[in-house]
Amino acid sequence: MDDSTKESILQHIDGQELAELTRDLVDILSPTGSEKEIGEFILDWYGRNGLKPIRQEIDPNRVNAVGVLQGTGGGVSLMINGHMDTSFTGQEDDLMLCRELEPQSELQGAIRDGKVFGLAASNMKSGLAAFMVAGKALKQSGVAIKGDLILAAVAGEISRTPIGPYQSGLYRGEGTGTRHLLTYGVQSDYAIVADRSALSIVWTQAGVAQFKIDTFGNPHAAWGVTREQEPPEEHNAVLKMARVAQAVDAWAEEFEANHVYQSANGPIIPKVNLGAVQGGAPYRPNYHPGICSLYVDVRIPPELRPIEVQRQLRAVMDATGYEYDIEMYTSKMGYEAKGIEPVVEVIEGTHQELFGEKTTPANTFRSSIWTDTNIYNEMGIPACKFGLGGGRFTTRSEQIDIDEIVRASQIYALSAATICNWSR
């Protein structure tokens, strides 16, 4: 691509537009399960800026918002993917995770000091804005591409899982939108997932398995007898679970040490987290609880099947001698992309050309998680993750440098112009 062609694309990428679009996206609440409003906004934006809008309804309150810049034919297609749902909901139910909630005013979009602030500013409303403007710039430049450029703003990527009373679309995350996207007609030859990576290139991601472990007691009043007459641990499911939690955590230390996966991106670090406990009746603590449940999240390396993790946890529970039940309620594999090298080379070369330096090497924090990148690779579409950084500003509010949004948008636009002109 000659310099004049590059300049004709880059002149349509404006930092102020990117900041304002990010702010506008931040101001549309889009918790998992309620992505319709922001999806409709994005679809309208595509239409107004010369991209073909495709609306995929997942359920009445959830859509995927797809925009297509059609090629002239005979070229490779590229999809850039980003999720619309957010880590926190911006509502009162965030108290399930937070000690206290900051004022709603701190969650609203704001532009100051060269940054954009607000709920999901970095994860990942700014990433959505970056590839939306990149597609618009390519369209406005008039630069011809042979293959289609597909921009996919998807529902349901955040780690939320239906279990017990927590049902409905509000708890269907971690791939819901992208799996719908790819199985209902939107496909490409390659994909870039614009989820957060701090402008590093990641093409190996962890899988995930989640488990509910139950211990059991004998529900009856705890008074009137000595501990010798009625040992509490024999009757109290919570006390049993305390021992179980220690046993699972001891196994976790060994599991994490033994299953580090060495990839071209560097090590993928497995992780076991004891994320929630439910047991007994808070309004009746004089009774021995008859059941207690522990919820465990296990981030697993590529090539390790979730069922093997379940077998290991069963062995841990068998060793306790307690009666128990175990249920695996999430099972998703991790993947190392195959055939993604040409796309990685283009992103890396574009970054070096624009900024005179290599991309930041991928770190384990960005690669040892599950993202929608895995679904593309599972379905045989070579995919890597390349997104922005940023981070927290308050507990739920985030911040992102405008310069970083501009950089990402420039790389998406120029990389797409190159890749979509490869002959099939």
pLDDT at residue 21 in the model = 98
Question: Would you give the distance in Å from CA 211 to the centre of its chain?
Answer: 19
Q: Mind listing the pLDDT tens digit for each residue in 245-255?
A: 999 999 999 99
Q: What's residue 212's pLDDT?
A: 98
pLDDT of residue 265: 85
Task: Quote the pTM value.
Answer: 0.95
Q: Which residues of the chain have pLDDT under 70?
A: none
Task: Give the model's pLDDT for residue 195.
Answer: 97
